[in-house]
Amino acid sequence: MWAEELDETTAREVGELLFAAREADGQPEGVTAPRGGLHLLARESGELAGYAHLDTAGDSFGRQVAELIVHPDHRGRDVGTRLARALADRVPAKELRVWAHGDHPAAARIAEREGFRRARELLIMHTPVRDDWPEPMLPPGISLRAFVPGQDEQAMIEVNARAFDWHPEQGSLSVEDLTSAEAESWFDPAGFFLAERDGRVVGFHWTKVHPAHPRRFGGEPVGEVYVVGVDPDAQNGGLGKALTVAGLRYLRERGLGQVILYVESDNLPAIAVYGRLGFTRYRSDIQYEH
């Protein structure tokens, strides 16, 4: 059943399904039904067995992106296959992408059987907090300061758009998206670093802290190198590494013991930098294309 909006009862059911999946897998992070787009529900004997959300607004390249989750008690019963087929029937070939978090073997089997191919791999890298993270070495003429809500949104978004014009999600970040994030409980302007040259923002490092979860990272809170962006005009001078280290040292000062980050698997220069800072591969999420 497709739905543009979920009533209160169904939204609660979806939240319970997402919570059960997170308890079993450590994913997804959120346990509330996403807003907007289309919702696809699969039921068995009246119970919600599976759920898919289709982001019809699309990514930066116009592709519709889906998340597909099967309740742990209903796995192995072709629920995921039925949801995948329904998504493929609705969206034209090569205009649909579907996430499989954790590169789960069952998702790979469904993808192969239903005509999906691996189109993107997003690595999750991890490191224990280290004492040898150095002072950030800023290029000449560059200074660092903290983000100021209500003042810096437009400047950050402009740099972000130039730095991530190639990225399916990050490149389309808007001022409205940023101000919405500022209202979240995890938002911390003191951990949001801006790099300036001659009064103009040329880079940023936005950090994030995830609360403890028993299925992830030993049940401890974990910091994240959420987004590091550098204006193309300021690249290749060491600013990206300096911003990264500044954020890592801040997360260490907050008393966190672990840090994660997400990076595209084909971004070899970034992976090399992160490797030298102690990060190793932890998990990967796969995006399939139909």
Q: Left if phi > 0, otherwise alpha if psi is -120 to 50, otherwise beta: which for 87?
A: alpha
End-to-end CA distance of the chain: 21
Task: Specify binding-site residues.
Answer: 68-70, 169, 208, 224, 228-230, 262
Task: Specify binding-site residues for acetyl-CoA.
Answer: 68-70, 228-230
The Cα–Cα gap between 279 and 159 comes to 26
The Cα–Cα gap between 187 and 182 comes to 5
The Cα–Cα gap between 33 and 89 comes to 23
The residue whose two tokens read 């995006």 is 287
Neighbours of 150 (CB within 10 A): 7
Cβ pair 37, 53 in contact under 8 A: yes
Cβ pair 264, 120 in contact under 8 A: yes
Sign, Cα dihedral of 272, 274, 278, 283: negative
The Cα–Cα gap between 167 and 45 comes to 41
